[in-house]
Structure 1
């Protein structure tokens, strides 16, 4: 891996799917397992995970991250995984300052570790747990425009060697999960929604994307609630005014979960 930090790191969106991604060999897992080798080593990673929802932005500041097993009914092997990556209190304060200056008063949580939306991608991409990791919460009730604006405020971090990763799911209608095989073919509505999103991401049509719920086919079906798509908007916003967008990965799990990933900038 090239250890030099470039002038600008990209911002990235990844789909983390089920916690089983940590121990199940799938195309998405294979993608994440090689992701770290394709990037310069960052000074730190800021994870924006769908699984930490708060009324206002919160960033964690701990000496070492606890591994939060925020799920139930899965094999014991998942609960035995630990990802004790260091935190960075100084960077947490800097992030809070950046967001506060942009009009987003931000709190600092001195206890919370990493939920599975953060540690599953991180353990695959950076398995040595030696890169400082911070987590930023999402505000689902605020919607995409707010999440995009949060990303814009965080954009200066990319020039400081911080890798910003939004971790969610490109589609996330778990109401339709009926035990489908992990490699079951995706449904037509998932295909239509994902094609629309990809088209407008490639075109950097931010306005259409922010209003995806009105324009994209089957939007409310693929995201009955928005927390798993909002990290995409933060990653997009962090890339600046006219970023290049590259689809880094696309696959489907259990017929309904698109596992797409994008790099911006």
Structure 2
């Protein structure tokens, strides 16, 4: 199956200023290439409810390359996220569904292969960036459960056993779970960018949590406007204030404990202060995984944490 035009258009290319830093910083080194033999995952029916987290996955492979600008994101992916997901405990999830910002399709599309290659959807990085391995298994069974849940909610899901896992999946997972002992199912966002539909998708996915399937929304909700990001505007105090107002509006919306009210608030996210500056028109793909997670989170307020990146606070939200 060929990669869709929309998916291919999202390829992340190393900007010049990062390329210069990368070449000049001799202390950088790639994380060890991970290729673990699979251990069978034994699921005990302990009724642990799978966690949901919307996280910031960083720029291209930079977190795995050890970019100093990503140090707080790296730390959270290595420490906070595994704890939230209960990895390496008796309550470890039986599978993880990852809704990735780097895959946009007209209908919700689900990876359903037993194994998936990696899709290095970035350009201009060191050779080791294209030799990274993440050897987790897929899960056709969980993919079917996702498809059934979405179909019951009125969606028409599509299965894809060919597309590789993109860097919205394997880059954070190399840091979150380097042992690769939990099966992964990758899922697209919708090219329509319809907020209400993404929220409904999350609500449909929430039933999988009851059988200890965790859900990750892999994006960059606080700020993903590459033109502005690479202009250096993030050091401008006026822009920082606008970004803070934007983050405040997001946090208030996702923290609404009533599920229906939360969905209504998020359906109007384009009216939040600074929305088009933080995520340009037709460029909402890095915000949409948060909406899916907010739908999957259920009633109650989420936990949250922030990571400093390029002078801004990047918010992640989670439900357990």
TM-score (norm: length of structure 1): 0.90
Change in 2 beyond 3 A, CA 1:30/1:182: farther
Where 2:129 maps in the other structure, the secondary structure is helix
1:177 corresponds to which of 218, 223, 229 = 229
Task: Write out aligned runs for 1:197-216 (5 A).
Answer: 197-204=250-257, 205-206=261-262, 207-214=264-271, 216=272
Match status 1:190 vs 2:235: no
Instruction: State the Cα deviation string for residues 167-189 of structure 1 (Å, max 9, x = none).
Output: 11021111113375999987222
Q: Paired residues, what number?
A: 259
Where 1:141 maps in the other structure, the secondary structure is coil
* Structure 1 unaligned residues grouped into runs of 5+: none
Residue matched to 2:138: 87
Counterpart-to-counterpart distance in 1, 2:111 and 2:235: 36
Counterpart-to-counterpart distance in 2, 1:262 and 1:109: 28
Higher RCO (CA 8 Å, separation ≥ 6 residues) = 1
Q: Give the C-alpha shift of residue 140 in structure 1.
A: 3.2
Residue matched to 2:76: 31
2:54–2:217 contact (8 Å) kept in structure 1: yes
Residue matched to 1:259: 314
Change in 2 beyond 3 A, CA 1:68/1:233: same
Residue matched to 1:231: 289
Change in 2 beyond 3 A, CA 1:127/1:184: farther
Q: Give the C-alpha shift of residue 93 in structure 1.
A: 1.4
CA RMSD of aligned residues (A): 2.3
- Runs of 4 or more consecutive aligned structure 1 residues displaced over 4 Å after TM superposition: 3-6, 179-186
Instruction: State the Cα deviation string for residues 42-77 of structure 1 (Å, max 9, x = none).
Output: 100000001010010110111222111101012223
Counterpart-to-counterpart distance in 1, 2:105 and 2:140: 20
1:54 corresponds to which of 105, 115, 130 = 105
Q: Give the C-alpha shift of residue 127 in structure 1.
A: 0.6
1:245 corresponds to which of 302, 307, 310 = 302
TM-score (norm: length of structure 2): 0.75
Moved more, 181-190 or 196-205: 181-190
Change in 2 beyond 3 A, CA 1:197/1:80: same
Match status 1:104 vs 2:155: yes
- Larger of the two Rg values belongs to structure: 2
Where 2:270 maps in the other structure, the secondary structure is helix
2:137–2:183 contact (8 Å) kept in structure 1: yes
